[in-house]
Amino acid sequence: MASVPVPLDEASLRAHFLGRPAYRRTRYIVARAAGTAAAGPGLTALVDVTRRSDVPLFSEITGLALIAGPDETAFVDAPEADTGIPTSLSKIAADRAPGARCVVVRGRYGHVGFIVDPAPVRVTVVEVVPPHPAKLVDQARRVLGLAEDLPPVELVPELTDLRALAGSHPAEHYLFPCRAGTAVAGAAVSYLDEIPPEADWTLVGCARSRDIHDWFYQRDVPVVDMCPRNLALRAVSWSCRGEPASPRSGRGSAGPSQSRMPLPALSGRPADEHPDHGFGPLRPSVGDGGDPGDLRRGGQAAGVAGRHSGAGTRAGCRGSHPGRRCRGDHETCPRRPD
């Protein structure tokens, strides 16, 4: 981030920055009007710079292009935010600057990051409650709070209350898998994991619950299916069996013991329909002469640059390789698409 004593239009910024030295990994510069300290619109611009060389520690700036001018950029102070997390930047943009095309965030540790044309991937998470909070929703939120290499994600919980689900099939006695179940007004409740004495009950459970019931009681039982995987056709959910969904089932899955869920599957699409949500450069790679319109990336997730300035990638290159971060040398990038 740089304080500049010139107007924030492209010509003035180019005249100001050309010929000045820049660190060899500098790719973007957040320019703020001199003397500006407060957050808000109209005082900040974002530019993409080209340097003469990537070899020396500093090299002179030889080119500059305006990504977002002051009329479309907002500056937000959010001390609680990790500016290296795309989902965090996207949420701040939606909550604090919904009308801005570019949102610059000064967050935790004083780090500055930005997001341009935020377009979070909406993911419906189907789950049952209790327990509260819904387990998969809570796990996904905590993982996304640390995920630097995923596109911005907006979780949309779709929760089914077990009490309402059981009540839709009236019975005098319900059998829940465990005490994560809930009382139902006017009915007795037992818990399968306690192996209670056999009774005339209705089982509220999943396929695994039926298997366990058959093992211990060896008789048929009325069942109210509570498996989240069966409550929606296309959503992220988990089943008690912890078995992955078929690649064409339209569902992602994660077993209850998998706290590290396969979040790239969170779009809820079959594997062969996943768009590449790798963070590409906000503008074409240095020197490739692309059109500035590439910034919008055809409606895909918006590119994000956080504290690792200069770590641009092409689609498919995730910017994180064993032992090093991609420095823009995409011809040798081991994760570059064919």
| Residue 91, amino acid | K
Q: How many other CB atoms sit within 10 Å of the CB of residue 264?
A: 16
Q: Look at residue 40 in the predicted model and tell me its pLDDT.
A: 60
Q: Look at residue 228 in the predicted model and tell me its pLDDT.
A: 83
Q: Look at residue 231 in the predicted model and tell me its pLDDT.
A: 78
Q: How buried is residue 334: exposed, middle or buried, by Cβ count under 10 Å (0-12/13-18/19+)?
A: exposed
Low-confidence ranges of the chain (pLDDT < 70): 37-42, 181, 233-338
Q: Where are the domains of the chain?
A: 1-119+275-338, 121-161+228-273, 169-225
- Give phi and psi for 172, each to the nearest 5: -85, -15
Task: Identify which of 67, 42, 58 has the alpha carbon closest to the alpha carbon of residue 302.
Answer: 67
Which tens digit of pLDDT belongs to each residue from 281-314?
232 222 223 333 333 333 333 333 333 333 332 3
Q: What is the mean pLDDT of the chain?
A: 75
Q: How buried is residue 2: exposed, middle or buried, by Cβ count under 10 Å (0-12/13-18/19+)?
A: middle
The CA-CA-CA angle for residues 106, 112, 118, to 5°, reads 85
Q: Can you give the pTM of this predicted structure?
A: 0.64
